[in-house]
Chain A
């Protein structure tokens, strides 16, 4: 993964988020008035369509740069569909469909959901748990037609959507396609499992970013908060907990970075990508659970308040685990892959890179 310091676009993203999506400021805001200026700045800087080639109206950034942007987005955990719009743009680009302006999301976002392309070019099916569907103008859809997979672009207004939100209060909607008109559709050498692998890696990268933030918040708090006449960070019990949080953060960072780097270097979504993306989603999901619990334990009661920003990160960390395949889903997939390859091929598979 290109890290923030190596990537100019990631630096730009960091500057925009720091200026317009400061977690403390957003947390105090009574409404979503901060969203429009943030989205405009991200959009004007070319970040929302980073993965769309220039000739299709995007910024034409590399996959590595896009992942670096998402690492930054994770560190701020701002509730805007930046990751979803990036993936949607990437998906549309694979089918040569021009990306529209504005926020987008993708469907399906759960491994078992299937959407079909009807003979008349409309879409049918149900996709559950679509992040930010209600806040997006368009959905990029991977559907199966009778001649193979297609990528289609639909307007969210043309779909039926449930109300719903994740643990952090961000829109997550079940979307029903009932002979829904596709604005564009094109065949793609691509299936929903590839979208799950990409989406998982994106979520893992964001989770690693959010874990970095809760680590830094927790260490700072432990150095400031005094109890028993010294900063609580001087107590070994607290130090051991924070060291564990650092370990979980490190694991998520390394796993997500490895998966992102693999996808950025690969031409196909093959078994190597499955090993990497599944491992990243599983390990970052485990780190999200362990890490959030430690961060809250260190912060005590103040971290459990609405007023404190910690929940902005921990609740999203916990929620992101469910998008594009949970840890359990990927673990079964990875276990089956290893079992099919057999014991003698197990180590060579791990050591291939």
Chain B
């Protein structure tokens, strides 16, 4: 509990330059081959199984994990470089991204050895899509209100209830879910939830689509009807998931995906303004560049501190708070700055389409993965206010 904030100065190690060049060359080849179109917003939020396998073959999934599980034992800053280059290119990473960022690390920590041997190499090969089973109809930000129940039976557990807003469940191979195994205790309302690995092909799972306001299908409702989960798929401590949920959050919250989601409108604005913008445009652009540069330096710093074994929990939450608000406002700012552009600017149509798409995506950015209000509560706790 302290108001001391720290951002170590992290310079990316020289190995990152070579890696970045490799990633850019790979992505350029994929674009040339027609896998995706970089200035098409929303592509980064789509999935492509064949593409994910090619990414896995390059060694860019599970980069930091032990080699014995198919990983590559590289450092977090190298993973950082790969993540940001894929985001900037709008590459279709949806299939493998969640597994790479958070599911794999949880399995590494809590899964029994034979599960790790089985699943982690397949994640690294880009074969598996993981989803996060947290929200329920009566439990969103208030994670520990989850009711979906796991009941002990011979050799495993029976799951009954439902998860909601589950992104990608319709393409998922596995879910990492929180289920209620005991009632919350009087002393600790976070008690009683247990983390499970769920094979989405198990009998008794129904995935119902929920279409979003953008017209995209990403959300789902996942209904469990007496679904069986074997004993060895329970992860970590029974009733003690609350202890496990927090340590990974620094990784989840501070990555480049937390401020680059609408980056394409800014790059397209630079293209539209040309080499000699008027003063208003230059100033407006410069402010956005300064804000983006600062966010990236903060995010790189957190990655470097994590690599060094530190736990910058408050700093990571701040990156997500500032980053998501910035990427949410970015399309509005770009819309303002494009107001006086020549109507026949060569990329005007592309820019307008991108702004339109970004404006519809914007509302979710400060909700997914921890709302602004929840993040600020975490920051306030870190400051010693609660």
Residues of chain A touching chain B, judged by Cβ–Cβ distance below 8 Å, are 1, 3, 212, 215-216, 219, 222-223, 233-234, 236, 238-240, 242-244, 246-247, 249-251, 253-255, 257-258, 261, 265, 275-276, 278-280, 282-283, 286, 327-328, 330-336, 338-340, 342-343, 346-347, 350-351, 353
Q: A219-B383, A258-B9, A343-B267 are in contact. Are A283 and B277 (CB under 8 A)?
A: no
Provide the residues of chain A in CB contact with B376, threshold 8 Å.
Answer: 239-240, 243-244
Q: Does B287 contact A (CB under 8 A)?
A: yes
Provide the bound-state CA to CA distance between A339 and B278, in Å: 11
CB distance from A23 to the nearest CB of B (A): 16
Do A351 and B298 have beta carbons less than 8 Å apart? no
Report the nearest B residue to A1, measured CB to CB: B9
CB distance from B249 to the nearest CB of A (A): 16
Report the nearest B residue to A282, measured CB to CB: B290
Provide the bound-state CA to CA distance between A280 and B274, in Å: 25
CB distance from A85 to the nearest CB of B (A): 25
Do A242 and B7 have beta carbons less than 8 Å apart? no
Do B377 and A239 have beta carbons less than 8 Å apart? yes
Do B88 and A333 have beta carbons less than 8 Å apart? no
Do B6 and A351 have beta carbons less than 8 Å apart? no
Q: Quick one: which of A216, A236, A335, A343 has the most chain B CB within 10 A?
A: A335
Provide the residues of chain B in CB contact with A249, threshold 8 Å.
Answer: 5
Do A216 and B3 have beta carbons less than 8 Å apart? yes
Provide the residues of chain B in CB contact with A222, threshold 8 Å.
Answer: 385
Do B290 and A247 have beta carbons less than 8 Å apart? no
Report the nearest A residue to B89, measured CB to CB: A347
Q: Does B344 contact A (CB under 8 A)?
A: no
Q: A279-B294, A336-B277, A338-B289 are in contact. Are A246 and B267 (CB under 8 A)?
A: no
Provide the residues of chain A in CB contact with B364, threshold 8 Å.
Answer: none
Do A243 and B294 have beta carbons less than 8 Å apart? no
Do B298 and A339 have beta carbons less than 8 Å apart? no
Do A333 and B3 have beta carbons less than 8 Å apart? no
Report the nearest A residue to B271, measured CB to CB: A343
Of B9, B271, B318, B386, which one neighbours A247 at CB under 8 angstroms? B318
Q: Does B239 contact A (CB under 8 A)?
A: no
Q: Quick one: which of A249, A255, A327 has the most chain B CB within 10 A?
A: A255
Provide the bound-state CA to CA distance between A279 and B7, in Å: 16
Q: Does B107 contact A (CB under 8 A)?
A: no
Q: A254-B301, A351-B88 are in contact. List 14 more A-B contacts (CB 8 A).
A: A3-B6, A212-B5, A216-B3, A219-B383, A234-B386, A246-B3, A258-B294, A279-B289, A279-B293, A286-B287, A327-B287, A328-B283, A343-B271, A346-B270
Q: Quick one: which of A239, A243, A351 has the most chain B CB within 10 A?
A: A243
Report the nearest B residue to A214, measured CB to CB: B3
Do A340 and B275 have beta carbons less than 8 Å apart? yes
Q: A331-B284, A338-B289, A339-B276 are in contact. Are A255 and B270 (CB under 8 A)?
A: no
B residues 4-26 touching A (CB-CB < 8 Å): 4-7, 9, 11-12, 20
B residues 255-286 touching A (CB-CB < 8 Å): 266-268, 270-271, 273-277, 279, 281-286
Q: Does B127 contact A (CB under 8 A)?
A: no
Q: Does B84 contact A (CB under 8 A)?
A: yes
Provide the bound-state CA to CA distance between A222 and B386, in Å: 11
Provide the residues of chain B in CB contact with A254, threshold 8 Å.
Answer: 7, 294, 297-298, 301
Q: Does B34 contact A (CB under 8 A)?
A: no
Q: A219-B383, A250-B298 are in contact. Are A338 and B286 (CB under 8 A)?
A: yes
Do A335 and B283 have beta carbons less than 8 Å apart? yes
Q: Does B321 contact A (CB under 8 A)?
A: yes
Q: A234-B385, A330-B286, A335-B281 are in contact. Are A257 and B380 (CB under 8 A)?
A: no
Those 7 A-B pairs whose CB atoms lie nearest each other, nearest first: A331-B286, A335-B286, A335-B282, A334-B286, A243-B376, A335-B285, A239-B380
Provide the residues of chain B in CB contact with A333, threshold 8 Å.
Answer: 286
Report the nearest B residue to A260, measured CB to CB: B9
Provide the bound-state CA to CA distance between A338 and B297, in Å: 18
Q: Quick one: which of B84, B273, B383, B386 has the most chain A CB within 10 A?
A: B383
Q: Does B373 contact A (CB under 8 A)?
A: yes
Q: Does B384 contact A (CB under 8 A)?
A: yes
Q: Quick one: which of B275, B279, B287, B298 has the most chain A CB within 10 A?
A: B287
A-B contact pairs, 14 of them (CB 8 A): A238-B385, A239-B376, A239-B380, A239-B385, A243-B321, A243-B380, A247-B322, A251-B295, A279-B290, A335-B283, A339-B273, A339-B285, A346-B270, A350-B296
Do B385 and A242 have beta carbons less than 8 Å apart? yes
Provide the residues of chain B in CB contact with A3, threshold 8 Å.
Answer: 6
CB distance from A81 to the nearest CB of B (A): 27
Q: A330-B290, A335-B282, A335-B285 are in contact. Are A250 and B318 (CB under 8 A)?
A: yes
Do A243 and B315 have beta carbons less than 8 Å apart? no
Provide the bound-state CA to CA distance between A251 and B384, in Å: 20
Do A250 and B284 have beta carbons less than 8 Å apart? no
Provide the bound-state CA to CA distance between A261 and B10, in Å: 9
Provide the residues of chain A in CB contact with B124, threshold 8 Å.
Answer: none
Do A261 and B277 have beta carbons less than 8 Å apart? no
